[in-house]
Amino acid sequence: MFDKFSERHIGVCNEKDLKAMLDVIGVKSTDELIAQVIPQSIRLKKPLALPEGMSEYEFAAHIRDLADRNQPYRSFIGMGYYPSAVPAVVVRNVFENPAWYTSYTPYQAEISQGRLEALLNFQTAVISLTGMEIGNCSLLDEGTAAAEAMAMMFSLRSREAVKEGRNQLFVDRNIFPQTLDLLLTRSEPFGIELIIDEYDQYEFTGREFGAIVQYPAADGSVRDYSDFTAAAHAKDALVTVAADLLSLALMKAPGEWGADIAVGSAQRLGNPMGFGGPAAGYLTTREAFKRNMPGRIIGVSVDRLGNRALRMALQMREQHIKREKATSNICTASALMASMTGFYCVYNGPEGLKRAAETAHLAAATVARALEAMDYKLTSKEFFDTLEVEAEAAVVQSLALENGINFYYPSEGRVRMSFDEVTTPAEIEAVAGIFAAAKGKKAKAVKAVTESNVPTALRRKSPYLQEPVFSAYRSESALMRYIKKLELRDISLANSMISLGSCTMKLNAAALMQPLSLAGFQNIHPFAPADQAKGYMDLIAGLEQDLATITGFAACSLQPNSGAAGEYAGLMVIRAYHQSRGQGYRNVVLIPASAHGTNPASAAMAGMKIVTVACDTNGNIDVEDLEAKAKEYSSELCGLMVTYPSTHGVFESRIREIVDAVHDAGGQVYMDGANMNAQVGLTNPGYIGADVCHLNLHKTFAMPHGGGGPGVGPICVAEHLRAFLPSHPVVATGGDEGITAVASAPWGSALLFPITYGYIKMLGAEGLRKATEMAIVNANYMSAALAPEYRTYYSGETGRVGHEMILDLTSFKKDYNIDCGDIAHRLMDYGFHAPTLSFPVHETLMVEPTESEPKEEMDRFIEALISIKRECEAAAGQQDNVVANAPHTARELAGNWEHPYSREQAAFPLPWVGEAKFFPYVSKIDAGYGDRNLCCRNCE
């Protein structure tokens, strides 16, 4: 009999530890506790309809079989997705390394210096290549990045332009169809009118606030946009360019010909195609627009001792902090993939990028000459890596498939092909041979072209990647050690528990992560014919069904590629439903005051009017206030956004009353799935009565956070909303009346799906329920164990919490002149990442241990918090104290020491700390300095 996966995944795996924890809580059994936590009225009456869990060995065989059902034909489809030479040293040391993929978003900068530098390298590379002044450290994909740029340009309108009602955006017709679809999705709620036309025939009228063009264009043609940009600027319109990063090694940078914003995907710089994602999107712009940028900026600052230190700069730019005033709901990124791109650029440097670009470009040039010699007509003779040729698509496709090759077919009379850095001479011969056969000719030997087809005026003359980091690590030994050096500057789940409330930093089991490296999953293009992706299609169908079963809904869409994107998609589906019933005027969304900031931000993005619902003194939704507001706005009520259990970590007993009040007023109920880790197998949104929910697969369903992303945020819906699930312009997906796309790829970040698929298949119905129960047990154990020292701010009617709790530190500033930020920094000296700070209540710690942590680890964390409180008590009235000065670096400990406390107390406050001591690389960072002296490039 094989081991059960649940016994490996769940940290408390013996009865002795469980009994000891239940004794501390004050209950006799897990069932007794669960009965006290979850209202009986919403408890599922029977187990989930899921099969028994597989063993790790059985799942490994099963997932390999699915990978083998995929046929990774040689892809020349392009369209924003390309085969890439992902360096093995990066795959092995980053992509497959839990120290990199289990780290959290670098809000706690002092213990995130490694991933911050990796992201700074990414940022530096894209700023350099695009010729801009500032950039962020990744977005989700190219289409959503273009949509963010549209919103950014819209928010940058002058007061006069707003008064004039300037609401038109010019979009060149020769743009990727998935990008256009995203622009359609995001523009309509803002009242933005898209003008889709030819860039070289269009005359600006003065009603436009911006324009978007593709460089090179979707059909491969290289166009000079400098006159077009000048014309736009003359009418006070900004210009965004969706630019291919690899092409910029040979082509003039957008910043040099006048573009205001550059966006795109970094996928072809060191990320696998993965059936569409994840890969890092990017956005760069001029420094004047830095406070309007979406996403995160990594900046250089100094620490308490004057040493160079990195942090997330201008953090109030985090759009969800602005709540309903947000112009973006960005809450995550593709940070892990951005780190990989950064290391790809470090490894290759400017010479390597130029070599890769020339390989792709000269392959296209060689094939172009061969095609012209066969009397084929090309759409453009000026190109980078993509050719569009007039030919009988059906004939060419049949011959191409016989040769194991995929092209893109925009129409019956056209074939499009994109070459890449891994194109070989043999593949060039094969492509030429296919087109020869299509004309009934015998293939001739192809003569390699060595001269550029990029117009002279658009050839790049300016240097790029000149920073020292891009020339220092050419050998594998050097890069491996650089990656390890950065790794050792970070705390991840490989070091210790990360008890972040709301963010659920649970185990990302190795058995779930291994399949991501299988070629059958990595090397499939998202627009490949469905019969070449049978493994993916079976996996997707199975995962959609399982998630629908778990949530109690009828259907699921996996397209949204982040939790915030899932929120937005859910609201847009509800919006489409109301419109289908002739009630498009319903645009009021009720949102509790306690909700995470992405809720109002997503509602604002969906064009909704936000009405805040009060919470009572116990932190629960004020049901009377909600009922009153539901009645008040009944004629225009779109719905309610509610998190359950609540953002305060409590199962509110009146949830069904809340749902009924909204339904009675004609609205729909969107349930935020952030806290699904406390529901699975015990209750679910469908059973409670909600209409749609999103799920954070990088929380409840064991996907890694990867330093702030990637994530997946699928939505599950009731039967009446199935028809409105997101569609896609290239590949059929979604409902019959589906909203336009919410991500560039048909199934979003599909490479990640084996993780959640395996999590469900290996746990099975029983394991999933047990995981939820233990998440609740662990939280209540920690709350009870800490009760003599720290008050739990909110609890349910029986005095219990759900899967997380809020520890009250609101008196610490008054009592000890120490705030929760100081305690977060002191936890670093103990080897821990802090819990969630000051959310949802100011000066509190929100703790979620998850089901994956063993009792021993939780006990260490409890002991650390108690020890820190003793330190606070001893420090009362002292400015120079061990908590306020934290964290302490090895360099400081080895130097002059003038503090009233000992070096040993600073570094080794408890006996077990020395067993695996983590030394923060920098001390407390001066946030203000970094913002006043903004530097977002790695110039060291």
pLDDT of residue 866 exceeding 70: yes
Query: CB within 8 A of 904, min separation 6: which ones?
Result: none
pLDDT of residue 428 exceeding 80: yes
C-alpha–C-alpha distance, residues 176 and 144, integer Å? 12
C-alpha–C-alpha distance, residues 453 and 363, integer Å? 11
pLDDT band of 595, cuts 50, 70, 90: confident
Return the SS3 of 26.
Answer: coil
pLDDT of residue 448 exceeding 90: yes
Q: What pLDDT, on the 0 to 100 scale, is given for residue 325?
A: 67
Q: What pLDDT, on the 0 to 100 scale, is given for residue 326?
A: 67
pLDDT of residue 148 exceeding 60: yes
Q: Look at residues 419, 319, 354 and name the one whose alpha carbon lies nearest to residue 128.
A: 354
C-alpha–C-alpha distance, residues 837 and 706, integer Å? 20
Exposure letters 734-765 (e unless 16+ CB within 10 A, then b)? bbeebbbbbbbbbbbbbbbbbbbbbbbbbbbb
Query: CB within 8 A of 46, min separation 6: which ones?
Result: none
Peptide bond into 710 cis (omega under 30): yes
Between 773 and 445, name the one with better pLDDT: 773
pLDDT of residue 298 exceeding 80: yes
Helix (H) or strand (E) holding 659: helix 655-664
Q: Write the DSSP assignment of 60-120 as a string of letters.
A: HHHHHHHHHHB--PEE--BTTB------HHHIIIIIT-HHHHTPPPTTSGGGBHHHHHHHH
Q: What pLDDT, on the 0 to 100 scale, is given for residue 271?
A: 98
Helix (H) or strand (E) holding 32: helix 30-37
pLDDT band of 931, cuts 50, 70, 90: confident
Q: Please give the structure tokens belonging to residue 677.
A: 């880790």
What pairing do the DSSP bridges indicate for beta strands 414-418 and 408-411? antiparallel
C-alpha–C-alpha distance, residues 247 and 364, integer Å? 12
pLDDT of residue 141 exceeding 60: yes
pLDDT band of 330, cuts 50, 70, 90: confident
C-alpha–C-alpha distance, residues 268 and 95, integer Å? 15
Q: What pLDDT, on the 0 to 100 scale, is given for residue 321?
A: 62
How many beta carbons lie within 10 A of that of residue 890, not counting itself?
A: 12
What pairing do the DSSP bridges indicate for beta strands 208-215 and 238-243? parallel
pLDDT of residue 320 exceeding 60: no
How many beta carbons lie within 10 A of that of residue 375, not counting itself?
A: 8
**Mean per-residue pLDDT for 876-885?**
94
Place of tokens 């005027």: 585
C-alpha–C-alpha distance, residues 30 and 607, integer Å? 44
pLDDT of residue 316 exceeding 60: no
Residues in the chain: 940
pLDDT band of 331, cuts 50, 70, 90: confident
Burial class (CB in 10 A: 0-12, 13-18, 19+), 430: middle
Q: Share the mean pLDDT of the chain.
A: 95
CA 91 to chain centre: 19
pLDDT of residue 60 exceeding 90: yes
Q: Please give the structure tokens belonging to residue 32.
A: 């007794």
User: Do 589 and 609 meet the contact criterion of CB atoms below 8 Å apart?
Assistant: yes
Q: Write the DSSP assignment of 689-748 as a string of letters.
A: T-SEEEE-TTTTT----TTT------EEE-GGGGGGS---SSS--S-TTPPPPSSSSTTS
Q: Please give the structure tokens belonging to residue 574.
A: 């509800």
Place of tokens 């809020």: 806
Q: What pLDDT, on the 0 to 100 scale, is given for residue 319?
A: 54
Each residue of 608-658: pLDDT tens digit? 999 999 998 888 999 999 999 999 999 999 999 999 999 899 999 999 999
pLDDT band of 318, cuts 50, 70, 90: low
* pLDDT > 90: percent of the chain: 91
pLDDT of residue 327 exceeding 80: no
Q: What pLDDT, on the 0 to 100 scale, is given for residue 618?
A: 83
Q: Look at residues 875, 694, 744, 935 and name the one whose alpha carbon lies nearest to residue 886.
A: 875
Q: Look at residues 751, 677, 738 and name the one whose alpha carbon lies nearest to residue 712.
A: 751
Q: Please give the structure tokens belonging to residue 732.
A: 């059929």
DSSP-assigned letter for residue 449? P
Place of tokens 């899967």: 803
Place of tokens 């859910």: 570
Place of tokens 């290289």: 222
Each residue of 476-493: pLDDT tens digit? 999 999 999 999 999 999
Each residue of 513-545: pLDDT tens digit? 999 999 999 999 999 999 999 999 999 999 999
DSSP-assigned letter for residue 644? S
pLDDT band of 454, cuts 50, 70, 90: very high
pLDDT of residue 324 exceeding 70: no
C-alpha–C-alpha distance, residues 543 and 305, integer Å? 51
Each residue of 3-47: pLDDT tens digit? 889 999 999 989 999 999 999 999 999 999 999 999 999 999 999
Between 95 and 877, name the one with better pLDDT: 95
pLDDT band of 799, cuts 50, 70, 90: very high
Q: Look at residues 233, 8, 10, 3 and name the one whose alpha carbon lies nearest to residue 771.
A: 10
C-alpha–C-alpha distance, residues 483 and 625, integer Å? 53
pLDDT band of 190, cuts 50, 70, 90: very high
Place of tokens 């206030």: 625
Burial class (CB in 10 A: 0-12, 13-18, 19+), 542: middle
pLDDT of residue 171 exceeding 70: yes
C-alpha–C-alpha distance, residues 381 and 822, integer Å? 62
* pLDDT > 70: percent of the chain: 98
Each residue of 710-730: pLDDT tens digit? 989 999 999 999 999 999 999
Q: Please give the structure tokens belonging to residue 132.
A: 């801009």
pLDDT band of 821, cuts 50, 70, 90: very high
pLDDT band of 1, cuts 50, 70, 90: low
Return the SS3 of 456.
Answer: helix
Q: What pLDDT, on the 0 to 100 scale, is given for residue 40?
A: 95
pLDDT band of 443, cuts 50, 70, 90: confident
Helix (H) or strand (E) holding 524: none
SS3 content of the chain, % helix, strand, coil (to 5): 45, 15, 40
pLDDT band of 669, cuts 50, 70, 90: very high
Q: Look at residues 123, 111, 255 and name the one whose alpha carbon lies nearest to residue 935.
A: 123
How many beta carbons lie within 10 A of that of residue 512, not counting itself?
A: 27
Beta strands in 445-601 (DSSP E): 555-557, 588-592
Q: What pLDDT, on the 0 to 100 scale, is given for residue 285?
A: 97
Return the SS3 of 448.
Answer: coil
Peptide bond into 294 cis (omega under 30): no
